[in-house]
């Protein structure tokens, strides 16, 4: 179950934010096989001056409209899967929300089942994995 934190420029509409959330979710489903019902994305906005970043780091020319995607998930994805995920997120954000791929900044934290509690105050690995409503 990935947990996503997405930081977007403050002026984006609720509709644009929802498109961004869906674009990231679709990339997770298509590129790393995440189940479609595992959607957890906390969206926050930042004001001008709240996010300082190099506009040219590593040869990528960024605007002031950077979308920061922080992904926390269980370990086990190969570098090839991560590469496909990053590419899918950038592509989906461009097509769904008009975000320039140069303005997509992604980073990942990996951990284990014992690092999660997804309900009832119990370790995630102690809960039966249910799929969807009424499962």
Summarised one tens digit per residue, pLDDT across range 57-115 is: 999 999 999 999 999 999 999 999 999 999 999 999 999 999 999 999 999 999 988 88
- Contact assessment for residue 5 and residue 44, using Cβ atoms and an 8 Å cutoff: yes
Residue 25, H or E segment: helix 14-32
Assigned domain for 32 exists: yes
Residue 100 domain boundaries: 3-126
The pTM assigned to this predicted structure is 0.88
Read off the pLDDT of residues 91-107 as tens digits, 9 standing for 90 and up.
Answer: 999 999 999 999 999 99
Predicted confidence band at 127 (pLDDT cuts at 50, 70, 90)? low
DSSP 70-122: EEEEES---HHHHHHHHHHHHHHHHHHH---GGGEEEEEEEE-GGG---STTS
3-state secondary structure of 36: coil
- Closest among 5, 44, 22 to 96, alpha carbons compared: 22
> Going edge to edge, which strands form the sheet with 104-111?
41-46, 3-9, 67-74, 104-111
What CATH number has the domain bearing residue 108?
3.30.429.10
Average pLDDT of the chain is 91
Place of tokens 């002026």: 11
Assigned domain for 87 exists: yes
Assigned domain for 82 exists: yes
* 15-37: average pLDDT: 96
Assigned domain for 135 exists: no
Assigned domain for 132 exists: no
Total structural domains in the chain? Answer: 1
Assigned domain for 113 exists: yes
């Amino acid at each position: 179950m990935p947990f996503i934190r997405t930081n977007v420029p403050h002026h984006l509409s609720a509709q644009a934010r929802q498109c961004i959330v869906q674009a990231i979710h679709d990339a997770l489903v298509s590129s790393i096989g995440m189940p479609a019902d595992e959607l957890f994305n906390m969206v926050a906005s930042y004001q001008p001056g709240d996010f300082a970043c190099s506009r040219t780091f590593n040869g990528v020319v960024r605007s002031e409209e950077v979308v920061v995607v922080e992904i926390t998930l269980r370990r086990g994805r190969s570098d090839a899967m991560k590469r496909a995920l990053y590419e899918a997120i950038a592509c989906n954000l461009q097509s769904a929300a008009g975000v320039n791929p140069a303005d997509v900044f992604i980073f990942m934290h990996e951990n284990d089942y014992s690092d999660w509690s997804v309900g009832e105050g119990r370790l995630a690995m102690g809960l039966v994995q249910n799929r969807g409503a009424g499962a």
